[in-house]
Structure 1
Amino acid sequence: MLDNMPRGTICIEDLEIGMSRHLRKEVTDRDIELFAEVSTDRNPVHLDEDYARDTIFEGRIAHGMLTAGLISAVIGEQLPGHGTVYLGQSLKFLAPVRPGDTVLAEVTVTAIDHAKRRVTLETRCLVGNTTVLKGEALVLAPSRKFD
C-alpha cells in the first residue's frame, strides 16, 4: 500500500513555513529483504524471526535506514521535490518498525534562507500514533532562477 501526495517540484520562491507533505507505505518482507541486499546489512534481527525473537525487539524489525529512506522520498519527490539537494539529516530512532506496519513519513518546512536557497525541514515517521523516527533535514531547494 502506497499513499502519496502529488510529486514534482516546489521551488524555494513558493515555499512557506509550515508547508507539509507526506507519504504512507506498508513495509513488507520484500522491502526488508531488498534493503538488506542493497545495503549489505544482513543483521539477523531484520531477516531471521527465530533470532529476532530473542532480542529486545522480540521479533523482526525493518532497518532503521529503510524507514529513514521514506523521509528522503518525501523530500526528493514532494517537498521541495525534484532538484532538491540533501545537505544534512539528523535522525532519532524511537521505536521499531515491523514487517506489515504502515509508516507515515512527514516533512514540514520550519525555516527558509532564501539568499542561500537552504530549507530546514522537520522530519518524522509514525506507525499509528507512535512516532518511530524524528529528525531534521537541511536541503538546498530548487529555484526558478536556475531553470
Structure 2
Amino acid sequence: MTAMTLMSHIRRAFSTRSCLHPGSKASLTKVFTADEVQTFSEISHDKNPIHIDQEYAAKTRFGKCIVHGVLLSGLLSAVCSTKLPGPGAVYLSQELRFVAPAFVGQSVTAEVEVMDIERLVMTLSTTVRETDTHKVLLEGSAKLVIPKNLARGR
C-alpha cells in the first residue's frame, strides 16, 4: 500500500467515525421520474393509479401523480447505507408518518440525524422534504446496527 493510499484510508475512516455522534446529519436529494415510479409499480405490484395514471390522478385531491411512500423511505435507507453511518449499516426498525405527498418530477431531500448511539445501535431522526420549499413530506425515526469497524472508532 502506498503512503498516499494509506493516508486516503485514514482520512476516510476518521471522517466516517467522527460523524458518529448525536447531532450529525447526512442527506440525499433526488427527483423521482415517472419511469422510476412506473418501474417500482411493476416490481412491487402496487399499481394504484394515483401513482401511474395522470388522468386518474388529475381527478383526485392531489391533482397529479404522487410518488409511492416506500420510495421516499427507500431514499432514507440510501442515506444510511451510503453516508451515515455508511456501508454495512443494517436497519432494525423504522417508524414513518406521511405528512404530505411527493409528486412525480419534484425534487425531494431525505435527511437523517443521529439522535443516540448505544453500543452498536444508532437511533436516527428521519425526514423527507420538498427540496425547494423545505416542506415536510415524511418524518419519523429509525434504528440501525452500526458496522463494528465504524463503532470501534467511537
Which TM-score bucket, shorter chain as reference? 0.7 to 0.9
Unaligned runs of 5+ in 1: 1-6
Correspondence for 2:102 among 79, 97, 101: 97
Structure showing the higher helix proportion among its residues: 2
Correspondence list, 1:10-21, <5 A: 10-11=16-17, 15-21=20-26
Displacement of 1:14 after TM fit? Answer: 5.6
Q: Which residue matches 1:120? A: 123
SS at match of 1:10: helix
Q: Which residue matches 2:8? A: none
Instruction: Confirm or deny: 8 A CA contact 1:32 1:62 kept in the other structure.
Output: yes
Q: Distance in 1 between matches of 2:114 and 2:23?
A: 5
- CA distance change for structure 1 residues 41 and 20 in 2, over 3 Å: closer, same or farther? same
Aligned residues: 137
Q: Which residue matches 2:69? A: 64
After superposition, give the CA deviation of every residue in 1:47-76 in whole Å (9 maximum; x if it has no partner).
111111122212111111111110010011
- CA distance change for structure 1 residues 106 and 14 in 2, over 3 Å: closer, same or farther? closer
Identity %: 39
Instruction: Confirm or deny: 8 A CA contact 1:120 1:139 kept in the other structure.
Output: yes
Give TM-score scaled by structure 2 length.
0.82
Is 1:55 the counterpart of 2:60 in the alignment? yes
Unaligned runs of 5+ in 2: 1-11
Q: Which residue matches 1:4? A: none
- Equivalent residue letter for 1:44: P
Q: Distance in 2 between matches of 1:37 and 1:81?
A: 29
Give TM-score scaled by structure 1 length.
0.86
Correspondence for 1:85 among 73, 86, 90: 90
Q: Which residue matches 1:39? A: 44
- Equivalent residue letter for 2:105: G
Correspondence list, 1:130-145, <5 A: 130-144=135-149
Displacement of 1:10 after TM fit? Answer: 3.5
- Structure 1 segments of 4+ aligned residues over 6 angstroms from their partners: none
